[in-house]
Amino acid sequence: MHLDLSQLTQLTPIFRELFKGYHISQRDAELYSQLSNLQDAYRALFRAMGFELVCDSRGFYYFVPEQMGAQVNKTAQRLALFTFILVEHLADQGRDPLAVLDGGTLGRDELPALLDKYRDLFVQAEVQTQEDLEEKVMRRLTQLGFAQEDNGIYRFLPPMHRFLDVCLAVQQDRDLAAVLHSDLPLPAPTLSEEPEEEPIISLTDDSADNEEAALARAIAEERIAEEQEAQA
Amino acid sequence: MIDPKRVLRALAEHWTLLEPLCERFDAGTLGLAELRGQLASQLPDGTPTDITALLDQWIRLDILVPVAKSPNRFELNAQIHDFLAYLRREHRLGLCLEIEAYLRHLERLAGYIREAFDARDGHDLARQLRLLDMRVRDVLKKLANDEQALIGVAERAKTSDRQIPLRQRYAEVLATWDEYVEPMIQLVAADGAFEQGVYRVEQVLLRLLGEQQRLGQLVDDDLLLRTHARILEMQTTAQLTLRRARELLLPLREEARRHNAVTRGAALALAAIRKKGLDAVPQAALPLFTRPQSNFLGTASQVESYVYALARFEPKPAQFPRASKARSGEAPRPPRTAREMIERCEQALPLPDLMLWLLEQEPRGATDELLYWFSRLSRDNRFQRDRLERRDYQTAEHELSLCSYALLSSKAQQADSTSASHAS
C-alpha cells in the first residue's frame, strides 16, 4: 500500500493521543474526520509501527495494546465497576442507563449519592472519598476520551460502548451467572474406593469370649504382680 | 332507520366539538357529568340546556351510545368512531388473526367460484368473483391501515420522554412485535398460510381462465384478470407491510433488548464483585487500553518509592538522630516543595535560561533533582516557554547536554497579545 505522508496532516496529534490510551471520537472533530477519511492509510501505517488501530463503527478510534504483557489494569477494572454501578443506579431511579451512557450527561452533584450508595463496592477499587471518585474515575474517564467535563456536567462519549459491551459480555457469561445463582455447595470430589482393611479394634466379638478373655487377662496380671512381689 | 344525511350533517356541524372528544373516547368511555363538563369548556356561552339538547341530538342520531349496563356512561358508536378515526388519520393496529380470517374466507370463496363454474352458473360465478374482489380490497385496506398504525407505534416510542425507562417507553413496540409482527412473519413466510392461501386462489382463477378458453366464456375475462391482479397486489402489499414493520420496529426492539441485557449484565457483574471481589469480572471481557503514558521525569527517590510500592521493596531502616547528640556538620536542608520552587521561579521571571537559573539556585543539587525541577517548571502553565539552542551544562556530578527554555509569565504573554490585538 502506498502511503502519502503529506496527506496525514494530523499524524502527530493523532499518534500522540492514541499512544496515551486516548479514544478519539467526534468530539475531536479534526482528528476524527481525518481518521475517518484516511482510515486505511492510518491503519496500515500504525500496523507497520506495531500498533493496532481499532476503528469502531459506533464512532471512535483507539489503540489496542499489544497482547504480550497487556494486563487488565486497575484503571480498567475501576472504570468498569463505575459503569456497572451507574447502570444499576440509573435503572433503580427509573432512568434510562443507555440514554445517559450513550451521549447523555451526569452532574457532578450526583456523585456523592452514588458514592454513599455503593461505598462497599467502591472501596474494593480503592475509591473512598469524593476526591478519589473524581480523581481516579471521572478524571480518568475524561483523560481517556470516554467522557468530557464541562462546568460540573459530565457528558459520556461513544467510547463508553466499550464498557457497555462488558455488561453484555457479562450477561452472556453463563458460567458467571451459574456461579451466582447457585447456592449449592461446591461438588465434593469423588475418591476411588479403598480396599477393605482388617479392623484395628474389633467391636463384634462374642460377649462370652470377652468375659473369658478378660478373666484370663486379669488372672495373668495378678500372677505377674504376685511374682514381682515375691522377687522383691 | 336514521337518515345518513342527518348524521353526516351533524358530524360536519359539530366537528370542532367531536374531534377533541374522539381523543377522550379513544381512552375509554365518559360519564354524563364528564361529557357535560367537556362540552361546557368548549362552549363557554352555552347554557346547560343547550348542552342537554346537543347530547340529545347525538344520542338520537346514534353518534353517542350508552355503555351496556351503565346508562350514565357513553361511548362513540363503533362505526362512527372508526369513520372519525379514518378522517383523523388515526390508525389502530389490527390483529394478524384478522388477516388470517380474511384469507380463510378468500379460500372458501375460491371454492364457491370453482363450484359455480363446474355448475356452469354464470350469475353465481360473477357474484362470487365480486365478493372475492371486495374481500381482497378489505385486506388491502387493512394492510394500509396497519402500516400507518405501525408508523405511529414507532414514532410514539421514539418521541416519548427520554427520561422514561426504556422498558416502559418501548412497551408498545415490544407488544406490537410479539402480537403483530411475529405472527405476520409466520403468516407471510413462503410456507405460511398467506402464501398458500393466495396460491390456491390464484390457481383457481388461472384454471378458470384456461377452462373458459376451452369451454367458452361464462364471465368476462377482464373480471377474472382484474381479480387476479388484485390478489397479486395484495400479496406484494403484505410483504411490503411486513418489511416496513421490520424496518421500523426491529431496531427499536433490539435497542430495548440490548438495554435489558446491559442492565442485567451490570447487575450480574456487581453481584459477582460483591461475592468475589473485583477480579470476579471475567478479565477477557474487560477492555484493554494503554495506560496513559507518563513522560514526566521523576527523581531517584520518587522512582524508589514507586518500585517499593510495586515490588514490596524493603527499605533500609531510617536512622533517626538522637536528641542528646550534637549535630555534626551542616544541618540537613528540607527538600524543596513544588510550590516553593514555582514561587521562586515566578519571582525571578523573566528567565533567559531556566537550566542556568536552576544551577545558580542549587549549585550542589543532584542531577536528577535538577532535571526534575527543569521538567516540572518548564511544563507549568503559569509560564510561557521558548526553546533555546542545545548547549552543555555542568552540574555538581555530571555534564548535561540539553535544549533549555527561556521562561516568561504566561499572564504577561496573554496581556501582550491582547494589547497587540486591540492595537491592531
First-to-last C-alpha distance (Å) of chain A: 113
pLDDT at A213: 62
User: Is the same domain home to A103 and A13?
Assistant: no
pLDDT at B23: 78
Q: Which residue pairs, CB below 8 angstroms and at least 24 apart, start in A92-97?
A: A94/B164, A94/B165, A95/B163, A95/B165, A96/B162, A96/B163, A96/B164, A96/B165, A96/B166, A96/B169, A96/B259, A97/B259, A97/B262, A97/B263, A97/B266
User: Is the same domain home to A208 and A122?
Assistant: no
- All cell numbers assigned to B6: 342527518
pLDDT in tens, B11-44: 888 888 888 888 788 778 888 888 888 888 888 8
Q: Which helix (H) or strand (E) holds B143?
A: helix B122-159
User: Is the same domain home to A80 and A169?
Assistant: yes
Per-residue confidence band for A183, with pLDDT thresholds at 50, 70 and 90: very low
Report the predicted TM-score, pTM, of the whole model to 2 decimal places: 0.49
- Distances in Å between the Cα of B18 and the Cα atoms of A204, B32, B42 are 101, 15, 10
Chain B CB contacts of A71 under 8 Å are 288
32-71 in chain A: CB under 8 A from chain B = 62-65, 70-71
Chain A CB contacts of B284 under 8 Å are 169
Assign residue A211 the CATH number of its domain.
Answer: 1.10.10.2250
Q: Which domains does chain B have, with CATH numbers?
A: 4-88 (1.10.10.10), 96-266 (no CATH), 338-417 (no CATH)
Q: Is A99 on the interface with B (CB under 8 A)?
A: yes
User: Is the same domain home to A162 and A221?
Assistant: no
Using an 8 Å Cβ cutoff, are B354 and B377 in contact?
A: yes
pLDDT in tens, B117-136: 888 888 888 888 889 888 88
pLDDT at A68: 44
d(CA A87, CA B265): 9
Is A192 a domain residue? Answer: no
Chain A CB contacts of B158 under 8 Å are none
Residue with cell 478373655: A213
Question: Is B270 close to A144, i.e. CB distance below 8 A?
Answer: no
User: Is the same domain home to A120 and A164?
Assistant: yes
pLDDT at B173: 84
User: Is the same domain home to A33 and A56?
Assistant: yes
Question: Is A166 close to B268, i.e. CB distance below 8 A?
Answer: no
For residue B252, the distance in angstroms to the closest alpha carbon of chain A comes to 13
Residues in chain A: 232
d(CA B4, CA B308): 95
pLDDT at A31: 94
| 8-state DSSP, A127 | -
Question: Is A73 close to B169, i.e. CB distance below 8 A?
Answer: no
Question: Is A91 close to B263, i.e. CB distance below 8 A?
Answer: yes
Residue of B166, B275, B290 to mutate when probing chain A, most A C-beta within 10 A: B290
Residue of A nearest to B286 (CA): A166
Q: How many CA atoms lie within 13 A of B381 on its CB side?
A: 0
User: Is the same domain home to A60 and A89?
Assistant: no
Per-residue confidence band for A207, with pLDDT thresholds at 50, 70 and 90: very low
Top pLDDT among B96 and A25 is at: A25
Of B169, B272, B290, the CB nearest to A19: B290
User: Is the same domain home to A120 and A217?
Assistant: no
A93 lies in which domain range?
74-180
pLDDT in tens, A134-144: 988 999 899 89
Among candidate residues A180, A196, A223, the one where a domain is terminated: A180
Across chain B, which has 424 residues, the per-10-residue mean pLDDT values are 86 87 82 88 85 90 86 86 78 77 89 88 87 89 85 79 68 84 84 85 88 79 85 89 86 80 86 80 63 53 63 66 64 72 87 90 84 85 84 86 86 56 45
Q: Is A94 left (phi over 0), alpha (psi -120 to 50) or beta?
A: left
pLDDT at A99: 83
CA-wise closest residue to B93 among B134, B144, B137, B135:
B144
User: Is the same domain home to A131 and A102?
Assistant: yes
Check pLDDT > 90 for residue A24: yes
User: How many domains does chain A divide into?
Assistant: 2
Is A226 a domain residue? Answer: yes
In the predicted model, what is the mean pLDDT of chain A? 78
Per-residue confidence band for A184, with pLDDT thresholds at 50, 70 and 90: very low
pLDDT in tens, A78-135: 899 999 999 988 887 777 788 888 888 999 999 999 999 899 889 988 899 998 999 8
Check pLDDT > 80 for residue A205: no
Is A193 a domain residue? Answer: no
pLDDT at A190: 28
Backbone Cα Rg of chain B: 43
pLDDT at B16: 86
User: Is the same domain home to A59 and A113?
Assistant: no
ipTM of the predicted structure? 0.72
For residue B133, the distance in angstroms to the closest alpha carbon of chain A comes to 49
| Helical residues (DSSP H) of chain A, grouped into ranges | 11-19, 29-37, 39-48, 74-92, 97-101, 111-117, 119-124, 130-132, 139-143, 161-172, 174-181, 207-231
Question: Is B292 close to A143, i.e. CB distance below 8 A?
Answer: yes
Residue of A nearest to B280 (CA): A176
Question: Is B271 close to A19, i.e. CB distance below 8 A?
Answer: no
Is A189 a domain residue? Answer: no
pLDDT at B418: 53
For residue A62, the distance in angstroms to the closest alpha carbon of chain B comes to 8
Question: Could you check whether the bond before residue B335 is cis, i.e. omega within 30 degrees of 0?
Answer: no
User: Is the same domain home to A160 and A80?
Assistant: yes
The CA-based angle A35-A37-A39, given to 5 degrees, is 55
pLDDT at A141: 92
Check pLDDT > 70 for residue A170: yes
Residue of A nearest to B293 (CA): A20
User: Is the same domain home to A175 and A78?
Assistant: yes
Contacts of A142 (CB under 8 A, 6+ apart): A148, A149, A154
- All cell numbers assigned to A116: 454513599
